[in-house]
Amino acid sequence: MSYNMLKDLYDAITGASNITSLVTSNDIRVGWQNEISSYPAISIIQVGGNAVGRLGYHHVSGQIDENFGVQVEIYSQISLKENYDILDQLSKTMISSGYSKLSDTDTWDDTLSAHRKITRWNKRDIYTK
């Protein structure tokens, strides 16, 4: 299920014109990156999750209750404000896709010479196996 959730999230973000007007879809990637070729950029990384079977009176078919955690990083070589502008638009898509923001922090990446906004999100999904 993790692959499908990452794919759905990637499709939602790259399909949102309010985001792609700020970050080209080529600069939105899934997975860790050694380097970033152009800015601004977004990285989507799975950072946690668990799945628990559900059985009981209302769930005799056997359902899976999954919590899925992602870290979305925004990179800018221009300013923190650019990261915040992107985050504002990203938040709209994340929340409408069922994610809750857990935390965010601002850092400076010396290796990339870029402002880095790190956000963590969680989504709960219940599905039948």
- Please state the domain count of the chain: 1
Q: Write the CATH number for 57.
A: 3.30.70.1700
Which tokens sit at 84?
């915040």
Q: pLDDT at position 43, please?
A: 97
Q: How many CB atoms lie within 10 A of CB 80?
A: 13
User: 89-100, pLDDT tens digit by residue?
Assistant: 999 999 999 999
Lowest mean pLDDT among 16-20, 36-40, 42-46, 57-61: 57-61
> Can you list the positions of beta strands (E) in 1-129?
28-30, 41-54, 63-76, 100-109, 114-128
Q: pLDDT at position 129, please?
A: 66
Which tokens sit at 112?
């990339």
Residue 92 host element (H or E): helix 80-96
| Residue 73 pLDDT exceeds 70 | yes
Residue 23 belongs to domain spanning: 2-128
| Residue 10 pLDDT exceeds 90 | yes
Which tokens sit at 118?
């790190």
